[in-house]
């Protein structure tokens, strides 16, 4: 049996991302997908990535600078990542952001 995929969302403070995670979990449940989705403050991202296998990393639009900081680490460890688009993030569109995560994991 294939193990559940893990999706990590990071942003500056985590409040909006926490709400988005809930909506993504609801969307995953609706699709009957076995995915572990959670969020962490951007400042702890590297530690989390060292301790846990992450199948997709999504970055809040206000934390775009984190992509530059983490780029070499993410590429070396082959962690697929992308910036969450501002519209989906602003609307807390769990379905659309879940779709972005699934696309990343297919690559």
State the catalytic residues.
Answer: 11
d(CA 60, CA 99): 15
d(CA 68, CA 87): 22
């Amino acid at each position: 049996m294939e193990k559940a995929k893990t999706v990590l969302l990071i942003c500056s403070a985590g409040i909006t991302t926490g709400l988005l995670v809930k909506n993504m979990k609801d969307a995953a449940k609706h699709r009957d997908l076995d995915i572990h989705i959670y969020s962490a403050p951007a400042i702890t991202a590297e530690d989390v990535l060292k301790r846990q296998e992450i199948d997709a990393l999504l970055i809040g639009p206000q934390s775009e600078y984190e992509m530059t900081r983490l780029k070499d680490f993410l590429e070396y460890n082959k962690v697929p990542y992308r910036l969450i688009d501002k519209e989906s993030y602003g609307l807390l569109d769990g379905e659309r952001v879940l779709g972005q995560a699934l696309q990343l994991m297919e690559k």
